[in-house]
Amino acid sequence: MKLTDLLNVERANILMSGNPLRLARAFLAAWSNGGRKIIMEEPPFPVGGFDGDVFIGDPFSVRGFDVYVFFNPISRRREELYPLLEERPGVVLLYEERYVGASISRYRIRRFLDYIVAYRRETVETETVLLGRLRDGKIEESKVLVRRV
């Protein structure tokens, strides 16, 4: 399993945690440049520089997009997301600023997730990413990626 595998999924619920700004922007740019239409809530970071269709609005009120982006679903206890996650209208990217790795098993949202990407800055010169595939709320397959800065 590689990070690039997630770029090609058609329908999946992906949780990115640990405030992975660079990863989220890379995913959004790749999806946008690949012709996918993206709708997102008001992001906590600048979103300029994408070549494709990226809209900022209420993802609950519209359908017909390829990628739906929600921010801080765990911190804000967003139970209204569960029906949408169960429906899987396309790729649903959940961006959580708090780090949630293997502890995902404590949260109800785990039952709706297909993948988790948990970013953590370990030391001054090291970043780690836990990449996991979930099935029935449990991490079925995982890999830890390490990057030296």
Q: What is the pLDDT along the chain (149 residues), one digit of tens a residue?
A: 888 899 999 999 999 999 888 899 889 989 998 899 999 998 877 777 777 788 889 888 888 899 999 999 988 877 788 888 998 888 999 999 999 988 888 888 999 999 999 999 887 789 999 999 999 888 899 999 998 87
pTM of the model: 0.91
Q: Answer yes or no: are the C-beta atoms of 39 and 61 closer than 8 Å.
A: no
Exposed/middle/buried for residue 33 (C-beta within 10 Å: 0-12, 13-18, 19+)? exposed
List of E strands, 63-137: 67-71, 91-96, 115-123, 126-135
DSSP state of 121: E
- Quote the CA–CA distance of 23 and 63 in Å, as a whole number: 25
Distances (CA, A) of 15 to 74, 123, 125: 10, 23, 25
CATH topology (fold) of 3-148 = Rossmann fold (3.40.50)
- Quote the CA–CA distance of 69 and 59 in Å, as a whole number: 7
